[in-house]
């Protein structure tokens, strides 16, 4: 998509924009998304290159790399891309060529994590403006001396120059999310009393020195973007009024565009918002910044659809629309909008599995198992096509059907009596989780377009794959309440119904937590009893926080660490509806759905799961199996 024909539906999104001395062909931006796809030594290797090139090929006009470390003391992930020495240039050049080949403009985000990393990752003591530990990492950083500040200014400028030499079109200074540059800007983390602390002019000194050095080395026309967190959502953190002043000062210093994000590690759920949050929720902040400057402004935050971004452009809220996780989920989002086939977009569900995993082995995504594995997903046709029967239509089964059909096999999906989407269709009925329904529709469409026949069964087959599913339940509850029902009994219902009985949910796994949400949303007085210390105990911390809020909003009483749950349960009226989930993983639990027996003629199981991480594991196992079929 090198030349943009005028697009009637999205004229603004598909119009070019000048940033410094480059022209971005359209307004679709891949913002920095850390993947852990770089090589162990910090070089940009094939995986990172293929990952970013796929987004450029998919039509994004501006691709910004994940944050690239400018100095080893600021490394944030074990396999983070680095721009800290000249030896990186050849690989960075390959990256630039691969992305630009598709007509996209490429910026490299340059960054130092400051206190928001761990010394076991950097191999050095952590560094920050002031010795205040990050409340999440809880490691005390050293206060930077003025001499060290100068060295890091130099490191940022040198990294920018390396990117320029490698053929990048511009750089983005990571001045958001509590990383080092942001830590200087924010009164929450900068308590210095020298020329780098105190009033805003002083807190800005570090970033302004970086900008000045980059301009000196790379030239005034070389595009510089600065990403800021316009609201940090922490005590004494940056707020929009001050952020607008920052943006003005950045413009005056020669910056060419400002990217408006939010949050720090402590307020992470605002930064990468979870399922159910409003699309474009922070666009008003971008607009406030845009009203203060005359350079282009980029907005971000749960953007998924071209329609929403086009409207934001038309309303003057933003000049560029950054699609973070949406670009992980579907690298071809802009091309599909351009070609009028956006109903084929695989939408991000906000599960944040990518986020949890980027700190661990690497980014994974349930709706796009090709992420970081783009080369393997250039699928070759099978030399021995066969007839494949899949019994079950969970996301894993539909992924299997898609891959097998892409390889040229004849694929039939017998959905049986279960809903298409399996347990994710149950989840889609939970208030706040409707995006899971969009995922079901998207992966179903993907399988059908590839040629899978969903809802039918062949007279004979060469391979039969069967689906199994499980939800943990603590059997002890039945000793006290033999009439109890399982979480699956509740979650599988289309409608919960209200008969005036109060509900007691024994368990706090995500299925139990969401069963409680459904019961309470249906109007029942609901209590959760659990031996664990929190709800959604099998989900990641971000989900736990959101689940707590949802339960509180519905007035659900949550009794945690309830070692005496038996006594408490006996205290409820005999007519109370008792629901059994997982009281604690260490409890004796069994599964609401028996695993069944695989028959000799079967090829294997496909695993459906409720919790997003477990679901993703099932999808990846299945994808691996189906890609390896002859
Ligand atoms: C896995 C992951 C890694 C991220 N890494 C970075 C990063 O390196 N630099 C950065 O500025 N933002 C990073 N972000 C934030 C995103 O760029 C984006 O601002 C955020 O996810 C909100 O946008 P979205 O709702 O479109 O995903 C990351 C987000 C995710 C989910
Ligand atoms: S892992 Fe989840 S949040 Fe991340 S891109 Fe994929 S669907 Fe979106």
| Closest ligand by atom to 435 CA | 2
Tell me, in angstroms, the distance from the centre of ligand 2 to residue 357's CA: 10
pTM confidence score: 0.96
Tell me, in angstroms, the distance from the centre of ligand 1 to residue 67's CA: 10
Token pair of 524 as six digits? 């029942």
> Shortest CA distance to 145 belongs to which of 110, 210, 195, 181?
195
CB-ligand 2 contact for 289 (6 Å cutoff): no
d(CA 481, CA 294): 67
User: What are the structural domains of the chain?
Assistant: 17-347 (3.20.20.70), 387-470+597-627 (3.40.50.720), 472-591 (3.50.50.60)
Query: Which residue in this structure is represented by tokens 């994590």?
Result: 113
Residue 245 φ/ψ, nearest 5 degrees: -65, -40
DSSP element (H, E) containing 558: strand 557-559
Reduced to 3 states (helix: H, G, I; strand: E, B; else coil), residue 487 is helix
> Shortest CA distance to 394 belongs to which of 626, 602, 596, 610?
610
Instruction: State how beta strands 297-299 and 589-591 pair.
Output: unpaired
d(CA 529, CA 512): 10
Is-contact 414 436, C-beta < 8 A? no
| Closest ligand by atom to 64 CA | 1
The pLDDT score that the predictor gives to residue 592 is 76
82 has which bridge partners?
A: 69
Token pair of 100 as six digits? 């630009």
Residue 363 φ/ψ, nearest 5 degrees: -70, 130
User: What distance, in Å, lies between the first and last C-alpha atoms of the chain?
Assistant: 34
Token pair of 538 as six digits? 């099998």
- Residues near 459 by Cβ (< 8 Å), separated by ≥ 6? none
Residue 18 φ/ψ, nearest 5 degrees: -85, 130
Q: Could you confirm whether 51 is annotated as catalytic?
A: no
Instruction: State how beta strands 257-261 and 297-299 pair.
Output: parallel
Ligand 1 site residues (CB inside 6 A) read: 31-34, 66-67, 109, 174, 176-177, 227, 261, 271-273, 300-303, 323-326, 354-355, 358, 363
Residue of 32, 227, 229 with the most ligand 1 atoms within 8 Å of its CB, for mutation: 32
d(CA 625, CA 403): 10
Radius of gyration of the chain (CA): 26
Average pLDDT across each block of 10 residues of the chain; the chain has 630 residues. List them in order: 67 97 97 95 96 98 98 93 98 98 98 96 96 94 98 98 98 98 98 98 98 98 98 97 98 98 94 93 98 98 97 98 98 97 96 80 92 89 93 96 96 92 96 96 98 95 93 94 96 87 97 97 96 95 94 98 96 97 86 74 90 94 92
- pLDDT, one tens digit per residue, over 136-189 is 989 999 999 999 999 999 999 999 999 999 999 999 999 999 999 999 999 999
DSSP element (H, E) containing 211: helix 205-218
Tell me, in angstroms, the distance from the centre of ligand 2 to residue 286's CA: 23
CB-ligand 2 contact for 325 (6 Å cutoff): yes
Atom of ligand 2 lying closest to residue 272 CA: 3
Reduced to 3 states (helix: H, G, I; strand: E, B; else coil), residue 516 is helix
Residue of 33, 271, 348 with the most ligand 2 atoms within 8 Å of its CB, for mutation: 348
The pLDDT score that the predictor gives to residue 462 is 95
Tell me, in angstroms, the distance from the centre of ligand 2 to residue 113's CA: 23
d(CA 313, CA 301): 14
d(CA 239, CA 185): 11
- pLDDT, one tens digit per residue, over 350-371 is 999 998 766 667 899 999 999 9
d(CA 3, CA 128): 44
- Residues near 288 by Cβ (< 8 Å), separated by ≥ 6? 230, 240, 243, 244
Tell me, in angstroms, the distance from the centre of ligand 1 to residue 31's CA: 7
Catalytic residue among 179, 196, 436, 610: 179
């Amino acid at each position: 998509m090198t030349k943009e024909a005028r697009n009637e539906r999205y004229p603004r999104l598909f119009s070019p924009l000048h940033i410094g001395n480059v022209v971005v062909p359209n307004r679709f931006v891949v913002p920095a998304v850390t993947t852990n796809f770089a090589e162990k030594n910090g070089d940009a290797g094939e995986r990172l290159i293929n990952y970013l090139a796929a987004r450029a090929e998919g039509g994004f006009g501006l691709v910004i790399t994940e944050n690239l470390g400018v100095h080893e003391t600021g490394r944030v992930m074990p396999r983070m891309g680095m721009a800290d020495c000249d030896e990186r240039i050849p690989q960075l050049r390959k990256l630039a060529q691969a992305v630009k080949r598709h007509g996209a403009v490429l910026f490299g985000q340059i960054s130092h994590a400051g206190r928001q990393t761990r010394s076991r990752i950097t191999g050095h003591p952590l560094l920050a403006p002031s010795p205040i530990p990050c409340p999440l990492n809880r490691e005390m950083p050293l206060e930077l001396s003025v001499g060290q500040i100068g060295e890091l200014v130099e490191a940022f400028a040198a990294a920018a120059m390396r990117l320029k030499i490698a053929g990048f079109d511009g750089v983005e200074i990571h001045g958001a999310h509590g990383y080092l540059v942001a830590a200087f800007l924010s009164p929450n983390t900068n308590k210095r009393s020298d020329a780098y602390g105190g009033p805003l002019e002083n807190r800005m000194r570090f970033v302004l020195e970086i900008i000045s050095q980059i301009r000196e080395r790379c030239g005034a026309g070389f595009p510089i973007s600065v990403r800021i967190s316009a609201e940090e959502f922490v005590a004494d953190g940056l707020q929009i009024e001050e952020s607008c002043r920052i943006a003005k000062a950045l413009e005056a210093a020669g910056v060419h565009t400002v990217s408006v994000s939010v949050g720090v590690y402590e307020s992470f759920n605002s930064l990468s918002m979870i399922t159910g949050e409003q699309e474009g929720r922070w666009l008003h902040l971008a607009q406030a910044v845009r009203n203060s400057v005359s350079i282009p402004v980029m907005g971000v935050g749960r953007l998924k659809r071209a329609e929403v971004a086009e409207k934001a452009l038309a309303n003057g809220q933003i000049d560029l629309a950054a699609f973070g996780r949406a670009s992980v989920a579907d690298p071809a989002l802009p091309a599909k909008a351009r070609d009028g086939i956006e109903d084929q977009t695989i939408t991000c569900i906000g599960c944040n599995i990518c986020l949890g995993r980027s700190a661990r082995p690497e980014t994974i995504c349930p709706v796009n198992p090709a992420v970081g594995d783009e080369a393997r997903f250039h699928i070759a046709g099978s030399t021995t096509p066969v007839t494949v029967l899949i019994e079950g239509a969970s996301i894993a089964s539909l992924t299997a059907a898609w891959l097998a059909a892409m390889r040229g096999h004849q694929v039939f999906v017998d959905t049986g009596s279960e809903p298409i989407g399996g347990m994710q269709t149950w989840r889609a009925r939970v208030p706040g989780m409707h995006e899971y329904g969009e995922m079901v529709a998207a992966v179903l469409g993907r399988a059908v377009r590839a040629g899978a026949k969903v809802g039918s069964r062949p007279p004979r087959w060469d391979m039969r794959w069967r689906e199994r599913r499980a939800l943990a339940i603590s059997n002890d509850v039945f000793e006290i309440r033999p009439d109890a029902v399982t979480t699956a009994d509740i979650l599988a219902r289309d409608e919960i119904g209200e008969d005036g009985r109060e509900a007691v949910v024994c368990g706090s796994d995500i299925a139990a937590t969401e069963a409680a949400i459904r019961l309470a949303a249906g109007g029942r007085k609901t209590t959760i009893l659990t031996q664990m210390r929190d709800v959604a105990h099998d989900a990641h911390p971000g989900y736990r926080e959101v689940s707590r809020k949802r339960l509180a909003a519905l007035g659900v009483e949550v009794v945690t660490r309830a070692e005496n749950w038996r006594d408490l349960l006996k205290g409820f009226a005999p007519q109370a509806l008792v629901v059994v989930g997982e009281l604690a993983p260490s409890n004796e639990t069994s599964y609401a759905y028996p695993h069944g027996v695989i028959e000799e003629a079967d090829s294997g199981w496909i695993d459906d799961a409720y919790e997003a991480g477990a679901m993703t594991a099932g999808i990846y196992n299945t994808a691996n199996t189906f890609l390896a079929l002859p």
